Amino acid sequence: MSIKKCKGDAMFSSYDSATDACRELLACLLNAPQRGAGGVAAESRLRRPFREELNTAFVLSNPRKRISQSLQLYPATARVIWMMAANNRLSDIKFHVPQVGNFTDDELTVPGSSYGMRLRQPQPGLDQIEGAIKRLKAETDSRRAAVTIFQPVDAIRESNDIPCAFGILFHNRDKFLETTVIMRSNNACALLPFNLFEFSLLAEVVAVEAGLELGPITYFAGSMHLYESDIERAKGLLAESVDTPFAMEQMPCDKSPLKALKRLAQADVKLREASTSLNITMVNEIIADVENDFGPYWSLFAKILACGVAASRDFQTFSSLIQLIDPNLKRFLPKMSQNVADINIAQIGGLFGRDVSSNVVVPIRRNNLMKRFAEHAVNYEAESGQAIGAAVLLRAQDLVFERFAARGDDDVLSYDAFRRALDGQS
């Protein structure tokens, strides 16, 4: 089988890792023709110029090498847990991924990108994933283990969020699960790394539940594209030296992955509820609850989630948690500004007009600052129509906290100050 891809060549490429696939596609798209000067009014993002290859397909031969070079592991983990909980509530995922707020129609739900709701509860009592697993167990060589994400109404409804994923096919062949992911549209720079991570994990969940070995994943995108606003980011990624792709451990088969993911969804609720008064004892209890029942494979996801929550809220908790993470994964996790760390652990005398331990006052003002920073980031992306790169966002955060450290009594961050920080000005 061959599918036309990259400069019109007929090819059906196979990649050992998500990093290899993402880099090859970005390199290909940099040479693709520019499009996107018009479009239907409701599809405003189409008016942003982009480069595109139609009918792009490839095989990910080792799906456990799902962590690509540019993946942000904390929001990726949050997305998977949210997805597998059949959740479409905006507030639950916006807590971890504020940019999702740009895609709601009612400020309550995520209408299109809530793949889990569409897969696991499109109607009360209907779970397509459970249905596919039952069919894979019952019928070797079945061609009917298919699940759909795109719905007929999506073809005509007006919305800020039409699902990019179309559906997934599962095949039990020689006791291996072969998975085919079909995407209507795919942003190669911003979203492909997340999609490869979440769909390869979903495939392994299905494989384990069906008693199969994890086989390759075939990935097809009707439109694989790169926005002009992401060109420099793509070039920067291609210019980076790349470490040997990291392969996640094999998912254990002695415990139900679906039950483990349900427990992780409960852990997520506890972490969000505790976020305003986070401490390492509380977080360790949440992690232990997962590990005691489901083992270290699944508790790793709880640790990643907790690291992400703590990174912008409590340095002591974050610094304790990060020591529990595999060194190969640390580079994919958020980092806390050293300025915040210095303030958070110091005893500050007179900074706020009285002697006070920083673990009382500083976290409160730091949290206020982080909330304003996140709000400004979401507003900026909505206004500009483009995502802020992780490196730019981290640099801006450092500049903002340098200012906070220098003027410890000031936790006000104006939108203009946020814009200056994005431009690299203190």
**Consecutive 10-residue averages of pLDDT for the chain (426 residues):** 42 89 98 74 64 97 97 97 97 95 94 96 95 97 97 95 98 98 98 98 99 98 96 96 93 98 98 93 97 98 96 88 91 71 43 40 64 79 76 79 60 79 78
Task: Please tell me the predicted confidence (pLDDT) of residue 362.
Answer: 54
Instruction: Tell me, yes or no, whether 248 lies in a domain.
Output: no
Q: Which residues pair with 183 in a beta bridge?
A: 165, 221
One-letter amino acid of 386: Q
Instruction: Tell me, yes or no, whether 382 lies in a domain.
Output: yes
Side-chain-side CA neighbours of residue 361 (13 Å)? 19
Residues 291 and 351 placed together within one structural domain of the fold:
no
One-letter amino acid of 308: G
Task: Please tell me the predicted confidence (pLDDT) of residue 80.
Answer: 98
Residues 181 and 281 placed together within one structural domain of the fold:
no
Task: Please tell me the predicted confidence (pLDDT) of residue 81.
Answer: 98
Of 109, 69, 92, 149, whose CA–CA distance to 331 is shortest? 69
Instruction: Tell me, yes or no, whether 131 lies in a domain.
Output: yes
Q: Which residues pair with 56 in a beta bridge?
A: 221
Q: How far apart are CA 36 and CA 88, in angstroms?
A: 30
Residues 140 and 86 placed together within one structural domain of the fold:
yes
Of 275, 390, 274, 374, whose CA–CA distance to 335 is shortest? 390
Task: Please tell me the predicted confidence (pLDDT) of residue 351.
Answer: 37
Please count the other Cβ atoms lying within 10 Å of the Cβ belonging to residue 45. 14
Task: Please tell me the predicted confidence (pLDDT) of residue 20.
Answer: 97
Domain of 49: which CATH number?
3.30.572.10
Instruction: Tell me, yes or no, whether 246 lies in a domain.
Output: no
Instruction: Tell me, yes or no, whether 338 lies in a domain.
Output: no
Side-chain-side CA neighbours of residue 395 (13 Å)? 13
Residues 274 and 221 placed together within one structural domain of the fold:
no
Instruction: Tell me, yes or no, whether 349 lies in a domain.
Output: yes
Residues spanned by the domain of 393: 343-422
What sign does the CA torsion over 294, 296, 299, 300 have?
negative
Q: How many domains does the chain have?
A: 3
Q: Is 164 a catalytic residue?
A: yes
Instruction: Tell me, yes or no, whether 95 lies in a domain.
Output: yes
Residues 131 and 207 placed together within one structural domain of the fold:
yes
Contact 152, 162 (CB under 8 A): no
Among the candidates 185, 204, 239, a domain finishes at 239
Task: Please tell me the predicted confidence (pLDDT) of residue 392.
Answer: 80
Active-site hit among 28, 164, 189, 307: 164
Model pTM?
0.78
